[in-house]
Amino acid sequence: MSHAASSAIPLTGADCFLRAFDDEVRRRAGASHASQLVLRLGPGFDLAAFESRLAEAAAAHPILHAPIRRRLGLGAPAYRLDRARAESAPKVRVHPHLEGRSLPDLFFARMNEPFRAERGELLRVDVVPRPHGTDLAMTWLHMLLDGAGSEAFVEWLESVHRGEREVTELPPDDVVTSPGLPAGLTFQQRGRSATAWQAWMASMAEPCPRSLAGPLADLRQDLRYDLLTLPEAETERVSERARQKAGFLTPMLFYLACAIRAHDAIFRERRLDPGAYVVPLPVNIRPKGSEHAIFRTRVSLLWFRVLPEQVRDLDGLIGELKRQRVDAIKAGRIEGGVIAMDFARWAPKRVYAHMARRAMKGELCSFFFAFTGEFAGGIDRFFGAPIENAFHAPPVPTSPGSVAAISLRSGRLNVSHVQQAGMLSDRERELFQHALRADLLGES
Amino acid sequence: MGHAASCHSLPVARDSAAMSDWTLERLTVRVFEILRDELLEVTGDFTPGSDLVGAGLDSLAVTQLMLAIEESTGVWVDESLLTPENLETSETLAACVHEQLQQA
């Protein structure tokens, strides 16, 4: 299925959630809420073929460069496919390899440049040849693709390159109007569910979380990230430890617990009261049969809240997170989140961000977290080059100013800790990495 | 971001019966039907002996299955029992649940 038949595709509720924070970042921090993935490729990358396929993809799927607007300024915002202009199509910039220049610096800069979404500027690619390979960073306005969608896009593009599918052919369910919205509920039922979800969210604010960046302030966005890559042997140990401590189907709770404790190490170092640790865990809401849907954000959020005294013991913390996860699923919080966010599609974006900030006294949460499992596990090569490593660098507003993203690729665990520059001292960044490693590996 | 689990928001059909009515065979059929019809995307060759993780079983599907089992039997399956061995097939999962039912 392709987008060609539609003139507009509505944003999902989760897209609108991100759009509200994109607006906030734009107004207050002079940037965009843009996510990035990095592919570290071995030799053999076919740049010309990649550029050609990307251009074909943009022509076949104008959502890749469609302006995001409300029709006549009313209704839910949508990708206006009929207004997509060729000059806004994703561009590939090739940079010379510069000896001595830190590669991430270039990629950091890309995350901090504003996207002109109103003109359909939604995705950029940067390519940097190395002596024996290529680094590729894809940076996009986060509402265009979620983490799973970005990996699905990479895999889809590779499958087009290999001739396994036509460029017009998208995975099933890619163009449905309201992906993830529970079917068969009356308006009243949806209203009750959304209200219950909001009440649940409000309960997270007592005591109020405190982020390392502190409450929202006008500050130019300057994101950077530290990447921790564990070798295969250590990754095996960590994965086994995650399975043992959190269960083999819910390793994300082990990683979340480790991330909470790494943040807690800094709070303790600063002798600051973190209030409660309140952290959202994105949950993929792709239904069966559309696991590889690419475009738009298809997530709900499970929120966790633990008090500082519950953080001291790793096993106790994991047990608490497990309990909260099951309780939240039993109470229908995943569906409730989808419904609540769907209602917000009609709300002005500033109202949405304002409501969220007001509930948490200027904060959103303690930090962002994501565990995305195996990164693009369906492919081992990309346009002729072996994938040596790959990871996500998700965005974060300047408050909370910190996001930990964990994924696996080729038997190695990657932790990218994206943070507002200057928010942590060098010593605190080291402390974070040290505390994280210690919990991941079980080393004191 | 994030895709540790897929969410299937369809309500799982209920089959309430007294705890003692749940023989291993009946439980196996029930577990198999929930997985086949409501939680997994499977083809016609999916059987009670099919590999579940290979068929797409994830953490959320397991939790939803546990909810359906609790609704049916009144017993919440202890999470510590959700091992790779017990989650291998519908049969092994049903056997694990049945054992816990016997002890409840």
Residue by residue, DSSP assigns A273-321 as: ---SEEEEEEEE-PPTT-TT--BB--EEEEEEEE-GGGTSSHHHHHHHH
Q: How confident is the model at residue A407 (pLDDT cuts 50, 70, 90)?
A: very high
Measured between beta carbons, the chain A residues lying within 8 angstroms of B1 are 35, 146-147, 282, 299, 368, 370, 372, 392, 394, 405
Tell me: pLDDT of A346 over 90. no
Share of chain A above pLDDT 70, in %: 96
| Closest approach of A22 to chain B, Cα-based (Å) | 15
Q: A54-66 burial, b if ≥16 CB within 10 A, otherwise e?
A: bbbbbbbbbbbbb
Position B9 scores a pLDDT of 39
Q: Does the pLDDT value for residue A178 go beyond 70? A: no
The mean-pLDDT minimum among A1-10, A52-61, A334-343 falls in A1-10
- Region A96-101: mean pLDDT is 70
- pLDDT band, very low/low/confident/very high, at A3 (cuts 50, 70, 90): low
Q: Distance, in angstroms, between B25 CA and closest chain A CA?
A: 26
Nearest neighbour of A282 by CB, restricted to B2, B59, B84: B2
A 315-344: CB under 8 A from B = 322, 325-326, 329-330, 334-335, 338
User: How far off is chain B from A132, nearest CA to CA, in Å?
Assistant: 31
Residues B82-95: what's their mean pLDDT? 92
pLDDT score recorded for residue A70: 85
Q: What distance in Å separates the CA atoms of residue A422 and residue A408, rounded to the nearest whole number? A: 28
- E strand residue ranges, A307-441: 368-374, 381-382, 385-393, 402-409, 412-420
Report yes or no: A311 and A317 within 8 Å, Cβ to Cβ.
Answer: yes
Q: How far apart are CA A19 and CA A34, in angstroms?
A: 11
Interatomic CA distance for residues B66 and A298, integer angstroms: 24
Q: What is the pLDDT of residue B15?
A: 53
Q: Is there a contact between A370 and B82 if contact means CB atoms under 8 Å apart?
A: no
β-pairing verdict for A412-420 and A34-41: unpaired
Pairing of β A402-409 and β A368-374: parallel
Tell me, yes or no, if A279 comes closer than 8 A to chain B by beta carbon: no
In the Cβ-directed half-sphere of A290, how many Cα atoms lie within 13 Å?
Answer: 21
Structure tokens at A200: 């649940």
Residues of chain B found within 8 Å of residue A338, distances taken between Cβ atoms: 7, 9
Min distance A257 CA to chain B CA atoms (Å): 15
Look at residue A245 in the predicted model and tell me its pLDDT. Answer: 95
**Gyration radius from chain A CA atoms:** 21
**Contact call for A370 and B2, based on CB within 8 A:** yes
Least confident of A11-20, A186-195, A234-243, B72-81: B72-81
**Mean pLDDT over the full length of chain A:** 91
Distance from CA of B3 to the nearest CA of A (A): 5
Q: Does the pLDDT value for residue A427 go beyond 90? A: yes
Nearest to B2 among A287, A334, A372 (CB): A372
Smallest CA–CA separation between A190 and chain B, in Å? 13
B7, A287: Cβ pair inside 8 Å? yes
Q: Do A284 and B6 touch (CB under 8 A)?
A: yes
Which strands form A8-10's sheet, in the order they lie side by side? A8-10, A77-80, A68-70
Cis peptide before A207 (omega within 30 of 0): yes
Q: Quick one: average pLDDT of B46-74? A: 87
What is the reported pLDDT for B3? Answer: 37
| Cβ–Cβ gap A373/B3 under 8 Å | yes
Could A250 and B84 be called an inter-chain contact, meaning their C-beta atoms sit closer than 8 Å? no
CB contact under 8 Å between A283 and B62, yes or no, is no
Put simply, whether A259 touches B (Cβ < 8 Å) is no
Per-residue pLDDT for A5 more than 70? no
**Overall average pLDDT of the A165-180 stretch:** 81
pLDDT score for A4? 56
With CA atoms as reference, report the closest residue to A183 among A342, A72, A330, A48.
A342
Going by C-alpha positions, the residue among A284, A146, A14 that lies closest to residue B5 is A284
The distance of Cα A12 from the centroid of its chain, to the nearest Å, equals 15
Instruction: Say if the Cβ atoms of A250 and B40 lie within 8 Å.
Output: no
What percent of chain A lies above the pLDDT cut of 90?
70
Considering only residues A311 and B103, tell me which one the structure prediction assigns the higher pLDDT.
A311
Residue in chain A lying closest to B82 (CA): A247
Q: What mean pLDDT comes out for the span A255-270? A: 98
Q: Which of chain B's residues have a Cβ under 8 Å away from the Cβ of A147?
A: 1-3
Tell which wins on pLDDT, A5 or A77.
A77
CA angle A72, A75, A175 (to 5 degrees): 105
Taking residue B102's Cβ as centre, other Cβ atoms within 10 Å add up to 11
Q: Please judge whether B5 and A148 are an interchain contact, meaning their C-beta atoms are less than 8 angstroms apart.
A: no
Of B6, B10, B57, the CB nearest to A286: B6
B12-43 confidence digits (pLDDT tens): 444 555 566 789 999 999 999 999 988 887 88
Beta-carbon separation of B6 and A300 below 8 A: no
Closest chain A residue to B8, measured at CA: A287
Give the pLDDT confidence score for residue A177 in this predicted structure.
66
pLDDT of residue A144 exceeding 60: yes
Model confidence pLDDT, tens digit, residues A271-328: 999 999 999 999 998 877 788 899 999 999 999 999 999 999 999 999 999 999 999 9
Angle between helices A333-343 and A13-29 (to 10 degrees): 60
Question: How confident is the model at residue B8, as a pLDDT?
Answer: 37
Q: How far is CA A443 from the centre of its chain?
A: 29
What per-residue confidence (pLDDT) applies to B20?
A: 64
Distance of CA A381 to the CA centre of its chain: 23
In this prediction, residue A351 carries a pLDDT of 80
Residue A27 CB-half CA count within 13 A = 12
Give pLDDT, residue A205.
Answer: 86
What token pair was written down for A302?
A: 């499970």
Cβ-Cβ contacts under 8 Å, B59 against chain A = 247, 249-250, 252
Q: What is the pLDDT of residue B63?
A: 87
Does A54 have pLDDT greater than 60? yes
The yes/no answer to whether this complex scores an ipTM above 0.85 is: no
